[in-house]
Structure 1
Amino acid sequence: MAGEWEEVPLGDVITLQRGFDLPSQDRKPGKVPIVSSSGISDYHSDVGVIGPGVVTGRYGTIGQVFLIKDDYWPLNTTLWVKDFHGNDPQFASYLLRTVDFRSCSDKSSVPGVNRNDLHRIPVLRPPLAEQKAIAAVLGVLDDKIELNRRMNATLEAMARALFQSWFVDFDPVRAKLDGRQPTGLDQATAALFPATFQDSPLGPIPRGWTAKPLPEAVEVNPRRTLKAGTIAPYLDMKNLPTQGHSADEVVGREFSSGTKFHNGDTLLARITPCLENGKTGYVDFLADGQVGWGSTEYIVFAPKPPLPPQFGYLLARSDALRTHAIQNMTGTSGRQRVPSECFSNFQLAVPTPAIAHRFDELTAPLMAKIKANSNESRTLATLRDTLLPKLLRGELTVPQAERCTA
């Protein structure tokens, strides 16, 4: 390790400060990210801190560290870096990731950390030039992960927009009814849609389509087999995404009891506040024929032919379905959940097999690309997390790390 590195208290590298109160009723629409202990949670009109900045959780979610490149508002559940003492902000964000937050936790029912305890933790501080070099090599990996995240958001938005256009707004039918060519469709695809509507229990739907209660078109909580004691992929509720469909982390765990699923199934959180927060996922992370399991608070959707598997996920993300689920929650305040039976009262417009097949052709590649990007990001994150502690302990030089990322 270079002789210029020195061991100092963390407080000599950064000064942490508690975030600011900002009740929901005081928030105004804007572009300034509001940062909670779990990351960006909302946006506001006013700036709390001039960026770039580094934020970590003070209460609630402990141990996650966020580098915020623009101006931001850190909530009172966070600690933000008030002073970098001349050190590189991006390096400081990586350094903070190596800190053992558990050693500074008050061990209460709601985990919390004391900034004064954090300030006393000994860390290694390299010269500024070395800090910038370390941040650059790790930043390349994080930049690619962020690019994949943005690409996935765009791909999913495309799939959701197509679902909304075809199966909710019936845009191609309305266009043909008005004598117009449906926007964005080639002639062969446009020809699959009728030019008139018919009455149904759902209201007017495209002629030749069928209005059905959701369970007649999408199996709810389908039967899956998994023997007790089997080690199988387990998806915890905390790792079910609020945005996008890719699960954050899946681990092997011995099956006892829980919701079972396989590839192509959609998982919808049934309990408050997980449902309201948007926790929904698409199962595409299992091996062929493998059955996974997770929380008993999942509802599983499995579309029946001719509907393709991703139809269930896009349905679960739709405003209409989510509103219906939330309005039908039962139970006492704070412990409400969605009864599976409520979906019998939710009507779907089921298209012809030809349209369902064409929808599959257009959206399956989008879902596959999202999966590929997510897999790449997990690989990059693993590499970053392997290199990070070695770089920050001086066990690995920047040139050596660069060869690992080439």
Structure 2
Amino acid sequence: MAGEWRTVRLGEITDWASGGTPPKDDAKYWGGAIPWISASSMYGNRYSDSELKLTETGLARGSRLAEVGTVLLLVRGSILHQRVPVGIATRPMAFNQDVKAIKAKEGLSPWFLLYWFLGKERNLLELVDFTGIGAGKFDTKQLQELPVNLPTLSEQEQIVAVVKALDDKIELNRRMNETLEAIARAMFKSWFIDFDPVRAKASGEPPESICRRLRLTPDLLALFPDRFVDSELGEIPEGWEVKPFSETVQIIGGGTPKTSVSEYWGGDIPWFSVVDAPAESDVFVIDTEKKITQTGLDDSSARILSAGTTIISARGTVGKVALVGVPMAMNQSCYGLRGLDGGSFFTYYATRELVSTLKQHSHGAVFDTITRNTFAGVSVVTFQPVVTAFETVVTPLMEKIKANSVQGRTLAELRDTLLPKLLSGELRVPVRSAS
């Protein structure tokens, strides 16, 4: 046992609070500036924003505010089958009834509390109750009884410094990816959705001004025409084509080896399912929760997808999009899409742009489903020279995103290896003297 450490109950050193949800059908509660955390916004372990936001009225009506430094833990949800979402509030935010706000008492570092939860995820998963229908849940009283091997506050802070240095780099990479991805997405929208270069040329704007404003070289600008023509989708650039999306991609199906055959599972071939879909800014999927063997691949309808293939979830949870970063297989609830004329990144962004339309065209008696015919029912506007130019321009951005994601995973693996040793006292860090 590590000296100067003491064993306490989690509930002794923390205060717990429950959240809530204002009525969803009342506009006065929503669309404000207060982030509202639910399972869908619990990515990573630093929470600063969310898609849904409350007004001050909404906060007073159905939720409460978690202060900066509060740990937010998901205690009910289907995702608890795979992982335990937990993070720390880096700005004041509200949270729903499926989330507990856990505040560290005096003598406990909030960041140490966060890393304690992260380091205990495997143990926590064993406590999830699945006896109900659908979502799993924690018994919070049971969680509060869990023993915590607690160092002195000084050593807590040193442990946090070691782990947080890794996390800071992971977070820096994530933010960089967010910026790079936003640039690539904005470029796609400007070129293929809004047709900004064509509109600028058609308006008579001088080429030098267009290039400066839209960050184009003269050679790139020359690829765009200076007028529009009518089409079934409205005005499109002269010389461009409207095509069914299915005619621009190869559509690839997936498969699942029999789960009852142990020889098919636990290999080294990543096998994608919807739980592996990355956050939008991450773009690439470079690892998966489950892996299969070569025998499992050979004895099933699964096939290897090459790097650069776009994956879209097509059944149940429809419309999750990822870009394959390393060769992998996927299950039958997804489709792989490969551009017929190259255009890996064009295909990826075109798929993301079409997600809402594909969802509208999905159907199914039990689950929403995208079929091969669904892809034939939506169209894209394309012109191969501009697609090729787009690939050339965005490839360095996308490769940097991929490299950052790979590095982030390596750092996360190192963090996850260190955490149990640091939390148990097996690995000690030197504590600086007060002088």
Query: Counterparts of 1:30-109 in structure 2 under 5 Å?
Result: 30-37=32-39, 39=42, 40=50, 42-45=52-55, 46=59, 48-60=65-77, 61-62=79-80, 63-99=84-120, 100-108=123-131, 109=133
- 1:223-256 Cα offsets, whole Å, 9 max, x none, are 99x9x96953211211112523222742421333
- The farther-off stretch of 344-353 and 247-256 is 247-256
- 1:167-195 Cα offsets, whole Å, 9 max, x none, are 11111111111111332212121112111
1:379 maps to: 410
Query: Counterparts of 1:179-190 in structure 2 under 5 Å?
Result: 179-180=204-205, 181=207, 182=210, 183-190=214-221
1:351 maps to: 383
Helix, strand or coil at the partner of 1:155: helix
User: How far apart in 1 are the matches of 2:130 and 2:233?
Assistant: 53
Helix, strand or coil at the partner of 1:70: coil
Deviation at 1:262, TM superposition (A): 1.9
Deviation at 1:80, TM superposition (A): 1.5
2:17 maps to: 17
1:192 maps to: 223
User: How far apart in 2 are the matches of 1:352 and 1:37?
Assistant: 41
User: How far apart in 1 are the matches of 2:130 and 2:359?
Assistant: 34
Deviation at 1:153, TM superposition (A): 1.2
1:271 maps to: 315
Helix, strand or coil at the partner of 2:66: coil
Query: Counterparts of 1:2-401 in structure 2 under 5 Å?
Result: 2-25=2-25, 27-37=29-39, 39=42, 40=50, 42-45=52-55, 46=59, 48-60=65-77, 61-62=79-80, 63-99=84-120, 100-108=123-131, 109=133, 110-180=135-205, 181=207, 182=210, 183-221=214-252, 232-244=269-281, 245-247=283-285, 249-250=287-288, 251-253=290-292, 254-255=296-297, 256-258=300-302, 261-275=305-319, 279-286=320-327, 292-305=328-341, 307-318=342-353, 321-332=354-365, 335-353=367-385, 355-399=386-430
2:47 maps to: none
Helix, strand or coil at the partner of 2:112: helix
Q: 1:393 to 1:142 in 2, by over 3 A?
A: same
AA partner of residue 362 (structure 2): M
Q: 1:53 to 1:259 in 2, by over 3 A?
A: farther
Q: 1:115 to 1:352 in 2, by over 3 A?
A: closer
8 Å CA contact retained: 1:259, 1:298? no
8 Å CA contact retained: 1:13, 1:125? no
Q: 1:74 to 1:200 in 2, by over 3 A?
A: closer
8 Å CA contact retained: 1:210, 1:350? yes
8 Å CA contact retained: 2:31, 2:52? no
AA partner of residue 409 (structure 2): R
User: How far apart in 2 are the matches of 1:115 and 1:300?
Assistant: 41
2:46 maps to: none
AA partner of residue 13 (structure 1): I
User: How far apart in 1 are the matches of 2:357 and 2:398?
Assistant: 25
- 1:35-90 Cα offsets, whole Å, 9 max, x none, are 22451563323462222210111111332321112111121112221452431111
Percent identical: 34
AA partner of residue 348 (structure 1): V
User: How far apart in 2 are the matches of 1:41 and 1:203?
Assistant: 31
Helix, strand or coil at the partner of 2:363: coil
User: How far apart in 2 are the matches of 1:271 and 1:260?
Assistant: 20
- The farther-off stretch of 156-165 and 198-207 is 198-207
Deviation at 1:213, TM superposition (A): 1.6
User: How far apart in 1 are the matches of 2:399 and 2:186?
Assistant: 17
Deviation at 1:392, TM superposition (A): 0.9
8 Å CA contact retained: 1:222, 1:302? no
8 Å CA contact retained: 2:9, 2:146? yes
Helix, strand or coil at the partner of 2:325: coil
For structure 1, the residue ranges without an aligned partner over 5 or more in a row are 287-291, 401-406
- The farther-off stretch of 160-169 and 334-343 is 334-343
Deviation at 1:359, TM superposition (A): 0.9
User: How far apart in 1 are the matches of 2:119 and 2:253?
Assistant: 43
Helix, strand or coil at the partner of 2:130: coil
User: How far apart in 2 are the matches of 1:217 and 1:72?
Assistant: 44
User: How far apart in 2 are the matches of 1:259 and 1:18?
Assistant: 45
Deviation at 1:391, TM superposition (A): 0.8
Helix, strand or coil at the partner of 1:79: strand
Deviation at 1:199, TM superposition (A): 3.1
- The farther-off stretch of 208-217 and 365-374 is 208-217
For structure 2, the residue ranges without an aligned partner over 5 or more in a row are 43-49, 258-262
Give the RMSD, CA atoms, in angstroms: 2.5
Deviation at 1:152, TM superposition (A): 0.8
Q: 1:249 to 1:242 in 2, by over 3 A?
A: same
- The farther-off stretch of 11-20 and 294-303 is 11-20
- The farther-off stretch of 355-364 and 229-238 is 229-238
User: How far apart in 2 are the matches of 1:58 and 1:32?
Assistant: 22
AA partner of residue 128 (structure 2): S
- The farther-off stretch of 195-204 and 165-174 is 195-204
Deviation at 1:2, TM superposition (A): 4.5
AA partner of residue 325 (structure 1): L
